[in-house]
Amino acid sequence: MSIRENVYQVVDLIKPSHILVSVFDKSGLEDLVKGILGVNRDARFYSTGGTGKKIMEILGPYAPGNYTSVEDFTGAPEMEGGLVKTLHPKIHAGLLAERGNPAHEGYLFKTLAKMGDSPGVYFDIFVGNLYPFTSVVAKEGTTSETARVNIDIGGPAMTMASAKNWHSIAALTSPAQYQGFISELKANGGMIGLEQRFKLAAEAMKSIGEYRTAIGNYFSSLDFQRDVKPYLSVK
Contact 131, 152 (CB under 8 A): yes
Q: What pLDDT sits at residue 1?
A: 52
Q: How far is Cα 183 from Cα 185, in angstroms, rounded to an integer?
A: 5
What is the CB neighbour count within 10 angstroms for residue 26?
16
The radius of gyration computed from the CA coordinates of the chain, to the nearest angstrom, equals 19
Confidence at residue 48, expressed as pLDDT on a 0 to 100 scale: 87
Q: Say yes or no: domain 18-231 is CATH 3.40.50.1380.
A: yes
How far is the C-alpha of 235 from the C-alpha of 49, rounded, in Å?
Answer: 33
- The predicted pLDDT at position 131 comes to 82
What number of helices (H) and strands (E) belong to the chain?
A: 11, 5
- HSE, side-chain direction, 13 A CA sphere, residue 77: 3
Show the beta-strand stretches assigned E in 33-115: 44-47, 67-69
Distance CA 129, CA 46 (A): 15
Cα–Cα nearest to 196, from 122, 124, 90, 104: 124
> What's the pLDDT at 7?
83
pLDDT tens column, 97-148:
999 999 999 999 999 998 777 899 999 999 999 888 999 999 999 999 999 9
Q: What is the pTM of this model?
A: 0.93
pLDDT by residue, tens only, the chain of 235 residues: 577 888 888 999 999 999 999 999 999 999 999 999 999 999 999 998 889 999 999 999 999 999 999 999 988 777 776 777 788 999 999 999 999 999 999 999 999 998 777 899 999 999 999 888 999 999 999 999 999 999 999 999 999 999 999 999 999 999 999 999 999 999 999 999 999 999 999 999 999 999 999 999 999 999 999 999 999 988 9
Beta-carbon-side half-sphere exposure of residue 57 (alpha carbons within 13 Å): 10
One-letter amino acid of 44: R
Q: Is 200:155 a contact under the CB 8 Å cutoff?
A: no
